[in-house]
Chain A
Amino acid sequence: MTTRRGFLAGLLAAGTAPQLGWASVGNPAYLAAAQEPDDGFALFGLRGDGAETFRVPLPARGHAGAGHPRRAEAVAFARRPGAFALVIDCSTGEVRRRLSPPEGRQFNGHGVFAEAGARLFTAEQRSDTSEGVIGIWDVEAGYRRIGEVPTQGIGPHDLRLMPDGETLVVANGGIATDPTDRTKLNIDTMRPNLAYLGFDGTLLEKVALEAALWRNSIRHLAVRSDGMVAFAMQWEGEAGAAPPLLGLHRRGEAARLAPAPLAHELAMQGYAGSIAFSGDGTEVAITSPRGGRVHRFSEQGDFLGPVSRTDVCGLAAHRDGLLASDGLGGLIAIEAGRPRPLARCDRAWDNHIVGLGA
């Protein structure tokens, strides 16, 4: 129920307050969260050369975020099981909104803006069954929850907007979790999938893996401008199985898995934490913080080689190549497979780097 005072406050926060663009905070190319030396957390804006353009404190460790396409406004998602997401004014550091999923839902760490920033879609799951839903929020109405649609799978994690601007692609990780402690409940029967959905929830296509890979949880996504989708996986089966951790998909085709040679695959420890296409789109890469390595592949899925870096996790397109971040504070550009340090900051970069597109 909306009280008059609440309504006015909302109007002030979302409506009449100045709406500054990203230029007001130094035109960052990326958003990245980090833990600082005092164990506090903050969200940073980063330029392409690794320089910091803004810093706003966060009340707790987050997972991923989403940047509004125009306004200097970011949504930072709490770690799972996510009880909240914060809409942050990056020019003032002010928390404009605290978004809570409806009763019985929890945020799953990722979200994406669409329709030029008018809509926010959030990956969520039902607390009781882990069935996935996409929460739909009306941004211009002050981030009002206006609906939800099923993701057609269990435990969705990442979701992205396809280049057509009207299709969502969702990584249904397949893992049912306990709503309080995230204990995995269904490893023996998990069935991850990649689902393409219209904004109204219409299932456009669903891609599943062969039975031998049912324990390979599809968790993170990257989308190339021509609609190629790359997905990164995390293996829940027995150790030493060394399954492929990267897959490539185009609408209407079968998914293509991209294995690395056995010794390299084993070194990844069955875990990919982030995924990105290179800036020129000719490469796709995944990171493994456990293995301390980045694996690069061609757009056909051929293994191009590793880059070693301790605790590396965040990954995004950078110029023609890639930008990787790590828990030691490093920001490392990877150009044609060659690492080049841009910065070594006194903070531990968290799981993801979010590109701001422009």
Chain B
Amino acid sequence: MRAALLALATLAATPVSASVGDALSRHILPALADFSAATAGLDRAAQEDCRAESLRPAFQTAFDAWMPLSDLHIGPSETGALSIAFWPDDRGFTARTLAGLIATEDPIAGDPAGYGEVSIAARGLFALEMLLYDPAFDGYGPDDYACRLVQAIAGDLGLQAAALETAWAEDFAPVLASAGEAGNATYLTEDEAIRALYTQLLAGLEFTADTRLGRPMGSFERPRPKRAEAWRSGRSLRDVLLAVEAAQGLARALAEHGLPQTDAAADHVRAVAGRIADPGFQDVEDPQVRLRVEVLQQAVRRMRAAIETEIGLALGIAPGFNSQDGD
């Protein structure tokens, strides 16, 4: 608390403000364009050679390009993010739906444009990850049904990325940018748009700490390595780092003042992440490893607290009145 007050006193000396326009033009819209390009590349690669081993590099590139957007859940991304990255999946919807499509050789695999009708559990990056990395699926040849399925999912992902980019650029970015203007029924004041992006920042880091890291940590008695995000493709740690980098980038674009605590906290996250060897957290059952993951989780939480201090407190944004409260 004392640290927060001191920080406030320091901040009070310099003008604090935030810019939705910069957050859009410097972070969100370029990331959407990158993701479109990366998924178009993945789609082309899949049409050329659908086999798991050859497609994995393009898959990794596309997943990397997704991470700057993965924790945005407003506007078109509110539901759009879920059909691109359907995780967590406790009930095993993805494996079950894919197995069903394969068992019946559902003709939808021949139709990337129609594939959007399929359950979101069998669409997007995690469906592809299952087919490209899980031993139960990844042995298919170029003439197998699963090859066409991979091509359909890659094609659908490319269409989703393009649609998301268009929806943001043409519809939602103008809504955020025109916050407070007459006729804007989503953000009734300019502050509400800043608040919306700020909330995404906090929720994203919470998700990284509680879910990306908290799920594989499980309990001390029972760590759950198979609950790590994208463990099959060995991306769990990388996703944490890219999510943190994305939060730092969005925070910097949004705030028009320096964020020294946030930057220091992000550096600390990277430092403690360097002590973790398995990129998929599959050795988290080792108490030593679990401890390192826990240290990383604390570092992510500290970064969240730094953003709360440097942006939230500085701009006077209070937590949601009703969303924090249940009845």
Contact = CB atoms under 8 A, between A and B. Distances in A.
A and B bind: yes
Contact of B185 (A80, A263, A329, A341): A341
Contacts of A327: 320-323
A326 B322 contact: yes
B98 to A, nearest CB: 15
A162 B323 CA distance: 30
Nearest to A241: B91
A240 B90 contact: yes
A96 to B, nearest CB: 25
Interface string A306-321: 1011111100000000
Given A330-B188, A332-B185, A267 B73 contact: yes
A317 B73 CA distance: 28
B192 A310 contact: yes
A313 B119 contact: no
A332 B186 CA distance: 9
Interface string B183-212: 011101100100110010000000000000
Interface in B268-327: 320-323, 325-327
A308 B74 contact: yes
A310 B320 contact: yes
A89 interface: no
B322 A263 contact: no
A267 B323 contact: no
Nearest to A234: B326
A289 B322 contact: yes
A109 B326 CA distance: 12
B185 to A, nearest CB: 4
Nearest to B121: A262
B249 to A, nearest CB: 23
A264 B195 CA distance: 22
Nearest to A287: B322
B78 interface: yes
A105 interface: no
Contacts of A292: 323
A79 interface: yes
Interface string A182-200: 0000000000000000000
Interface residues of A, number: 45
A339 interface: yes
Interface in A92-129: 109
A73 B184 CA distance: 36
B78 A308 contact: yes
Contact of A263 (B75, B83, B192, B195): B83
Nearest to B182: A341
Nearest to B172: A308
Interface string B39-78: 0000000000000000000000000000000000111001
A239 B215 CA distance: 12
B82 interface: yes
A144 interface: no
Interface string B106-123: 000000000000011100
B79 A263 contact: yes
A328 interface: yes
A258 B75 CA distance: 24
A271 interface: yes
B134 interface: no
Contacts of B325: 289, 351
A341 B178 CA distance: 14
A184 to B, nearest CB: 10
Contacts of B105: none
Contact of B79 (A219, A267, A330): A267
B192 A328 contact: yes
B186 A293 contact: no
A263 B320 contact: no
B144 interface: no
B82 A263 contact: yes
Nearest to B191: A328
A283 interface: no
A266 interface: yes
Contacts of A293: 78
B323 A290 contact: yes
A234 B90 CA distance: 19
Contacts of A132: none
A310 B199 CA distance: 10
Contact of A311 (B88, B184, B323): B323
Which of B75, B119, B188, B199 has the most chain A CB atoms inside 10 A of its CB? B188
A350 B89 contact: no
Contact of B327 (A80, A311, A328, A344): A80
Contact of A266 (B82, B189, B195, B327): B82
B323 A289 contact: yes
Contacts of A309: 185-186
A267 B83 CA distance: 12
A163 to B, nearest CB: 26
A253 interface: no
For the complex of A and B, list the 4 residue pairs with the smallest distance between their C-beta atoms, beginning with the closest: A327-B321, A289-B322, A339-B185, A263-B79
Given A262-B82, A267-B78, 6 more contacts: A263-B120, A273-B327, A311-B322, A339-B185, A340-B185, A351-B322
30 contacts: A80-B327, A157-B327, A240-B90, A240-B91, A262-B82, A263-B80, A263-B120, A264-B79, A267-B78, A289-B320, A290-B323, A306-B79, A308-B74, A308-B75, A308-B78, A310-B195, A310-B196, A310-B320, A311-B321, A326-B322, A327-B320, A327-B322, A330-B188, A332-B185, A339-B185, A339-B186, A340-B185, A344-B189, A349-B322, A350-B322
